């Protein structure tokens, strides 16, 4: 009696998952939609926002967000970094030694990402307004300088 119940449950689960995908095949990875970089002296905190296909959202909800970490490691492979938090829609990463001080200015030389990022918003300590790079599919941070 238990085997037919399990089989029916499995069929219903597969049918529900097919409804979530709208009948279209989806990528197994996710897209980095934006990143905000908040510079602080020679370090920076980067908030990476991402989107998942519907089916993967369900997977992350049930299994957890540990599968996001390898993609973050690829993106920040050219940085000294520490992943502070991984959430279903964003990750917070602390990077060190991304800027150097010279003549009273912090200078950040461009660093490549391991993937493209559609939008980057940069906050510096010396400016009340962020610098926005919108819809550019950037594969590196821009060169920038800021005061202490």
Residue 97 φ/ψ region, left for φ over 0, alpha for ψ in the -120 to 50 degree band, beta for the rest: left
Contact 37, 46 (CB under 8 A): yes
For residues 18 and 40, which has the higher predicted lDDT (pLDDT)? Answer: 40
**Helix runs in 42-125, H state only:** 54-63, 69-75
Q: For all residues of the chain together, what is the average pLDDT?
A: 84
Task: Report the pLDDT value the prediction gives residue 90, as an integer from 0 to 100.
Answer: 92
| Residue among 73, 90, 74 nearest 82 (CA) | 73
Mean pLDDT over residues 38-47, rounded? 97
Query: What gap in Å lies between CA 44 and CA 105, rounded to an integer?
Result: 15
If you average pLDDT over residues 117-130, what whole number do you get? 95
Q: What is the pTM of this model?
A: 0.77
pLDDT at 21 > cutoff 80: no
Give the pLDDT mean for 116-140: 92
Angle at 99 between CA 94 and CA 104, to 5 degrees: 130
pLDDT at residue 19 above 70?
Answer: no
What are the residue boundaries of the structural domains of the chain, listed by start? 26-147
């Amino acid at each position: 009696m238990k085997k037919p119940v399990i089989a029916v449950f499995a069929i219903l689960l597969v049918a529900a998952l097919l409804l979530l995908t709208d009948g279209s095949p989806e990528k197994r990875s996710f897209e980095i939609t934006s990143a905000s970089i908040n510079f602080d002296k020679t370090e920076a905190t980067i908030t990476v926002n991402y989107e998942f296909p519907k089916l993967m959202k369900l997977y992350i909800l049930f299994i957890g967000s540990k599968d996001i970490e390898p993609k973050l490691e690829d993106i920040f492979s050219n940085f000294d970094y520490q992943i502070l938090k991984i959430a279903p829609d964003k990750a917070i990463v602390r990077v060190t030694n991304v800027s150097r001080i010279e003549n009273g200015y912090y200078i950040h030389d461009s660093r490549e990402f391991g993937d493209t990022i559609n939008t980057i918003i940069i906050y510096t300590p010396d400016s009340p307004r962020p610098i926005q790079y919108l819809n550019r599919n950037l594969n590196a941070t821009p060169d920038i300088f800021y005061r202490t």
